[in-house]
Structure 1
Amino acid sequence: MTLDFTELFKVDACVSSCSNSMINTTGVLESTDNMKKMEILAKYGHFIKHYGTGKDSYYYFRIPDKTIKRGAFRRKKTTREEIESALCDYFIEKEKQSSTGKDMTTFEQLFYEFMEHKKEKVSAGTIRRMMIDWNKYYKTNTDFIQKPYKDITPIDVDDFLNNIVNTSEIKNKAFCNMCGILKQTFGYAVSARYISANDNPYRVEVNRKKIIPTRKKASTQEVYNNSEKQLLLDEMNRRLQNNPTNTCILAIMLDFELGTRRGEILAIKNSDIKNGKLHICRQIIDDYDVSDINNPKLIGYHAVEYTKSDAGDRYIPLTQKAQEYIKQIQRINKETGESYQDFLFVKDGYLINPNKLYNIIKDACNRCINIPIKGTHRIRKTFVSTLVNNGVPITTASRIAGHADERTTIKNYLFDTNDETETNKAILNALGDNPESSVTTTYRNVENKNVTKRDSNIILFPSNKKAENPCFTRISH
C-alpha cells in the first residue's frame, strides 16, 4: 500500500489552521475581557482603599447600592489583584443584568431600598419595629424574599401569608403589622414607577380563623384596683421621705392624676401649666442609630414638639392633689438647682429617661408591696377607667386621654378598678340580693325624701288609653 503524502500534508495543514483559529479566538476574548476590566478600573478604581501595613494590611471597597442590604456592596481582600477582580466582577454582573432587559431585583432587595426611603420619613423607632417583624416573619421565608419581585404573583402572596398563619400562632395585631411590610414595599414599587398599580400582587386571602384574635385582658392585669393603687402610693411616699429630691417618684404619683403617656409626663414644661389646666403638647421619644438598618441601636432620647396623634394635643384639668405635686417638684428643682429648658422633670441637667419610671414601679411591686407589675401605661388605663366609672362621659374621657376616637377608649381602656370583693358586692346589690342598698331602693328613698305632705294628698287618676279594637283577629267564614 502506498501512502499519499500530498493528502496527508493537506489534512495536517487544515488541523493546524483550525487550531490557530481557536487560539486566536481565545486570545481575542481574553483581550476583550482585559480591556473591559481596564475600563472598569479606570472608571471605578477610586473606590478601592488600602489600609494597614505589613501582614495586617488589606484592600477594601464600598459601592453605594440601594438594592443590597445595608445600602452598599462591600468587599475586603488581602491583595490588589483580588480586590480588583472583585470590583470588576461586580460591575460586569450589573451590566449583564441591565443588558438582559429584565429587572431581576429580588423582593428582599426591593424591601431594603424601600427602607432607605422610609427611614427619611418616619421615626427611628418605627424603623426598628419594622425590622423586628422583617427578621421574624420574612427572613425565614427565603423562597419568597429571594424571588424577583416582578415575578411575584397574588398566588405567591397567598402562599406566603398562609404559610405564616399555618406555622405560627400569630395574633391579629402582629399579623396586621407583618402584612404592612408587604403592602408598603409593593406600594413603594408602584410609587417609584417600577410596576403599575394593576401589577401590584398584594392582597390578603387567608383563613382568619387561624389568626388569634386580640382579646381584652382581665382588669386585674390591666389596671390598679383601689387597694393596689393605695399600696403603690404609700410606697412612693415612703421612698420620697428617704430620698426627698427624687422627682421621678413624684412623676409616678402625679401620673395617677393626669393619665398621660409615659413620654408625655416627662416632657411637661412649667409654661404648660396655666389657670388650673395642663397643656399636653409634646413628648419624649427614643433615638436610634439606623445607619445599619439591620441593627438599630438605642443612643438616647429627646423631646419633640408633637404628640402621638393630633388628638394628643389637649388640656387636662388639674386636681388639687396634682397641683400640690407640681408645686413640690418646682420647689425641689429650685432647691437643687436643676434646670433644663423650662422642663418640669430634670435630672443632672437633662431630661429624665422614661424607662426610669418603669424601673421604680417594677422594683416597688416586686420587692416591697408584692403585687403584679403594672407600668405607667397601666396607670394611664387606671386613670381613664376611674373617670368613666365615676360618671364622666366616654367622649370626655377619650378627649382627656388624647385618643383619636371613643372606640380606642372603649376597646382598650375601660376596666373595673374595684377588687374582686367590691365587684361581687356591686353585682349582688344590682341583682337585688341586698334590697336596702340596691339601686331601686336607693332611688325610692331619694324620691321619698323629696315628697312633701301636700304631695301625698294628690289623687292619681288612671291614664286614658286608646280603646283597642276587639275584632283584631280576622274571622274566616
Structure 2
Amino acid sequence: MRKKQKEEILRKHPYSIWQGKDGRWRTHVSDITQKSGRKLVVKSTEEKIYEALDTYYQNTDEAAHRASITLRKLYPQWLEYKKLHTRAESYISRIDTDWRTYYLDTEIIDIPIKKLDKLTLDMWAHKLIQDYDMTKNKYYNVTVIIRQSLEYAVDIGLIPSNPMSQVKIDGKRMFRKVKKKPDATQVFSKEELDLIFPMAWEDFKNHTKVYELAPLAFLFQFQTGLRIGELCAVRYEDIETPNYIHIQRMLRRDTNQVVEHTKTEYGDRQVLLTETAKKIIACAKARQEELGVDSEGYIFSINGKPILARVIDDLYKKYCKKAGIIQKSSHKARKTYISSLLDAQVNINTIREMVGHADERTTLGNYCFDRKAEDEKKILIEKALSI
C-alpha cells in the first residue's frame, strides 16, 4: 500500500494500531451493533491491517455518500433513465419544465432521500396542491417526478420502499374542480365550417399562400382528425390501401424534424379516407405535377420538405378572424372530427382507434362536445321529452 493511502487512513482512523505479543496486529473500528460502540480487528501483518481498514473506510464513505443523496442529485440520473423508456421528447421536456417550476427552489429536493418519510411527503404534497390550486390531473403530472424518482431509488437499492406510495390525497376536498369548457369554444359548429371551408378552397384555387397546399392540409385535418404534427408528415406511401391512410410518423414542433413514430404507441394507426379526403389528396398531387415539383413523397409539400405546423396554424387564425368567429386552433379541428363522429353514432372504439387514443375515456372525456346551435338543442330536447 502506498504511503499516501496509509496517511489518508490514519487521518480518518481514531483508534490506535498496535502489534501484540503474539506478533499479530490489532486495532478497533466503529460498530454501533456492539455494546462498546466498536469492534476489534485482528490481522497477521501490519499490511493486512491497513488493507482491512482501507476496505472498511471505502464502504463507510460509500454508505455516507448514499445517505447524502438528495432529489436534486438523483433527478438528472433518473431523467436519463426515464428518456430510455419513452420516445416522446415533448413529455421529457414537460417533465423538465415541471422540475424547474415546482421543485427547483424548494426545500424538499435537498432533504436526503433516506430521510424522506410519509409525513414529510404528505405535508409537501398537500401544500403543493394548495399553493398552486391544483386540479387532479395537474397534481399527478407534477408529482411524476418525485413518485418515479423514489421508485428509481428503490430499484438502485438506495431505499427499501417508496414512501410516496403511502401518501393519500382526498381528491374531493383538495383538488380544484374543473368545469368543462363551453362547447362553442372547443369545436367548430356546422355554421362555422360552412363559412371557413369555402375560404380554404378559394385560397387553394387562387394560390394565395407561399405554401400553396396549406389550405388543403387545413381541410384534410377536418376529414381525418390528425394531430397537426401527423398532418404535416403524411406521405403518399402511407396510403397502403385505397380507403385508409397509415399514420406512423410526425413532425416535431420544437425542431421541425420528422420522426418515424407518433406521439404515443396508440398513435400508429389506420385512418379511414372519406371521399372528400381522397379529393383533397388528388388536388394536392395534381398541383404538384402542375408545378413540376418534387415533394419527396409528402402529400402537402411543394419544396420536398414537410409543411410546417405554424403555416397551418396561421390559416386557422386567418379564417376564424375573417369569418368573425371565436379563434380556434388545429386541436379544435381534431375535437370537431371526434364530436362529429360521435354525433353520427360511430362506435366509440372505432373512433378511439382512428384518433390514436389508448382509452375511450380520453375520447369521451376530453373530445366530446355538442356542435349544435341552441335552437337545434331545444328542438331535440323538446322532441325527446314530448309526451
Deviation at 1:219, TM superposition (A): 1.2
1:132 to 97, 105, 117: 97
Q: Distance between the aligned counterparts of 1:319 and 1:102, measured in 2? A: 60
CA deviation string 1:103-127 (max 9, x = no partner): 3122111112211332344333222
Give, as a single letter, the amino acid of the residue that structure 2 aligns with 1:262.
I
Alignment of 1:363-402 (within 5 A): 363-366=318-321, 368-402=322-356
TM-score, normalised with respect to structure 2: 0.77
Change (3 A) 1:118 1:314: closer
| CA offsets 1:139-164 (integer angstroms, 9 cap, x no match) | 242x2111111111111110110111
- Matched AA of 2:258: A
Q: 1:396: how far off?
A: 2.3
The one-letter code of the counterpart of 1:169 is D
Q: 1:280 aligns with which of 217, 225, 246?
A: 246
What code does the residue aligned with 2:280 have? Answer: Y
Q: Please tell me whether the aligned partners of residues 102 and 142 of structure 2 are also in contact (alpha carbons under 8 angstroms).
A: yes
Could you tell me which residue of structure 2 aligns to residue 204 of structure 1? 167
Contact 1:279 1:315 in 2 (8 A): yes
CA distance in 2, matches of 1:241, 1:341: 23
Q: Residues 201 and 406 (structure 1 numbering): CA distance in 2 closer, same or farther, change over 3 Å?
A: closer
What is the aligned counterpart of 1:345 among 291, 294, 300? 300
C-alpha contact 2:288 2:302 (8 A) present in aligned 1: no
- Distance in 2, matches of 1:393 and 1:98, equals 59
Give the AA of the match of 1:135.
Answer: R
Quote the residue 2:317 is aligned against: 362
TM superposition shift of 1:172: 1.6
Amino acid at match of 2:247: C
Answer whether contact 1:313 1:402 (CA < 8 A) is retained. yes
Q: Deviations over 1:228-275 (max 9, x none)?
A: 111121221232243266111110111111111212222221122254
Alpha-carbon distance in structure 2 between the residues aligned to 1:321 and 1:353 = 23
SS where residue 233 of structure 2 aligns? coil
Quickly say closer, same or farther: Cα 1:241–1:343, change in 2 above 3 A.
closer
Provide closer, same or farther for how the CA distance between residues 395 and 201 of structure 1 changes in structure 2, counting only shifts above 3 A.
closer
Q: Number of aligned residue pairs: give it.
A: 329
Task: Give the number of the structure whose alpha-carbon radius of gyration is greater.
Answer: 1
Aligned match for 1:318, one of 273, 276, 283: 273
Please name the residue that 1:331 is paired with.
Answer: 286
Q: In the superposition, relative to structure 1, how do residues 220 and 204 fare at CA in structure 2: closer, same or farther (>3 Å)?
A: farther
**Is the Cα contact below 8 Å between 2:150 and 2:162 reproduced in 1?**
no
Cα distance in 1 for partners of 2:82, 2:293 equals: 38
Quickly say closer, same or farther: Cα 1:155–1:339, change in 2 above 3 A. farther
- Whether contact under 8 Å (1:97, 1:104) holds in the other structure is no
Displacement after TM superposition at 1:182 (Å): 0.9
Q: Root-mean-square deviation (CA), in Å?
A: 2.7
- 1:414-470 Cα distance to aligned partner (Å, 9 max, x none): 2211122222222223333xxxxxxx9xxxxxxxxxxxxxxxxxxxxxxxxxxxxxx
Taking only the aligned residue pairs, the percentage that are identical comes to 26
Q: Is the 8 A contact 1:277 1:315 kept in 2?
A: no
Q: TM-score, normalised by structure 1?
A: 0.63
Matches within 5 A, 1:389-468: 389-432=343-386
Structure 2 vs 1, CA of residues 121 and 155 (structure 1 numbering), >3 Å: closer, same or farther? same
The whole-number CA distance in structure 1 between the counterparts of 2:345 and 2:246 is 23
Return the offset for 1:97. Answer: 6.0
Once the two structures are superposed, the pairs formed by residues 43-442 of structure 1 within 5 Å of their partners are 98=62, 100=64, 103-122=67-86, 123-141=88-106, 143-196=107-160, 198=161, 200-208=163-171, 209-243=173-207, 246-286=212-252, 298=254, 300-366=255-321, 368-432=322-386
Judged with a 3 Å threshold, the aligned counterparts in structure 2 of structure 1 residues 282 and 325 are, in CA distance, closer, same or farther, namely same
Secondary structure class of the residue paired with 1:315? strand
- 8 Å CA contact retained: 1:280, 1:312: no
Q: Secondary structure at the match of 1:346?
A: coil
How many Å apart are 1:99 and its aligned residue?
A: 8.1
| 1:102 CA displacement | 5.5
Call closer, same or farther: CA 1:399–1:121 in 2, change over 3 Å: closer
> Which residue in the other structure is 1:66 paired with?
none
Structure 2: unaligned runs, 5 residues or longer: 1-6, 12-57
Contact 1:266 / 1:283 at 8 angstroms: preserved in 2?
no
Would you say the 8 A contact 2:118–2:166 is kept in 1? yes
Q: Given residue 166 of structure 1, which amino acid in structure 2 is its aligned partner?
A: Q
Tell whether the 8 Å contact from 1:97 to 1:103 is kept in structure 2 after alignment. Answer: no
Q: Given the superposition, is the C-alpha separation of residues 206 and 120 from structure 1 closer, same or farther in structure 2, using an over 3 Å criterion?
A: same
Aligned to 1:454: none
